[in-house]
């Protein structure tokens, strides 16, 4: 139970960090650019950036926390190494697909048009960035799984 709470908090923390980045930090840069001319505090531009970076955060957080969960299961000998590597690959692919889907769902729920013009290109950029992150986490967690020695006395959440 404690590990499940820790993984949930990790997921929420990563997602919150990317939404914060999109809304406050990346939003300030866009307000100063040609894309968001107008008042200093442009809620529409900030919301759009929060949706874009939040969607990337959903994919990144999912891929990372599932990786930690799989490594924990291998270390406690509840999961074999071959199946763990397969699950890591599936997790990386699903997280990559989850990124544009979550951006689209979030944009519809907050009534922001994301898939038009430069924002549509940013969705493709976020998906490519997530593909790179998924490949990196797959490699890192696979190496971790292959090098891990399991112990039976640990408990699994």
Question: Judging by beta carbons within 10 Å of its beta carbon (0-12, 13-18, 19+), is residue 138 exposed, middle or buried?
Answer: buried
Phi, psi of 82 (to 5 degrees): -65, -45
What pLDDT is recorded for position 157? 47
What pLDDT is recorded for position 106? 86
**Domain coordinates of the chain in residue numbers?**
2-147
The 3-state DSSP composition of the chain as helix, strand, coil percent (nearest 5) reads 80, 0, 20
What pLDDT is recorded for position 37? 45
Q: How far is the C-alpha of 155 from the C-alpha of 29, rounded, in Å?
A: 46
How many residues are listed for the chain in this entry? Answer: 157
Instruction: Answer positive or negative: Cα dihedral of 8, 104, 121, 89.
Output: positive
**How many H-runs (helices) and E-runs (strands) does the chain carry?**
5, 0
Block means of pLDDT (10 residues each) for the chain, length 157 residues? 89 92 68 48 76 91 95 90 94 93 85 73 88 95 89 53
What pLDDT is recorded for position 123? 84
What pLDDT is recorded for position 107? 83
- Residues 6 or more apart whose CB falls under 8 angstroms from that of 106 comprise 51, 54, 55
What pLDDT is recorded for position 34? 45
DSSP 21: I
């Amino acid at each position: 139970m404690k590990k499940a709470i820790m993984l949930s908090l990790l997921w929420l923390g990563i997602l919150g960090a990317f939404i914060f980045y999109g809304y406050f930090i990346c939003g300030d840069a866009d307000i100063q650019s040609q894309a968001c001319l107008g008042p200093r505090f442009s809620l529409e531009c900030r919301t759009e950036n929060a949706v874009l970076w939040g969607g990337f955060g959903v994919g990144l957080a999912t891929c990372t926390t599932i990786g930690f969960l799989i490594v924990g299961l291998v270390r406690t000998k509840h999961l074999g190494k071959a199946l763990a590597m397969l699950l890591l690959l599936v997790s990386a692919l699903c997280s990559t697909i989850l990124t544009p889907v979550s951006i689209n769902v979030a944009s519809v729920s907050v009534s922001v048009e994301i898939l038009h013009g430069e924002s549509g290109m940013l969705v493709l950029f976020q998906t490519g960035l997530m593909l790179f992150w998924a490949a990196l986490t797959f490699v890192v967690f696979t190496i971790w799984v292959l090098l891990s020695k399991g112990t039976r006395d640990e408990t699994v959440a």
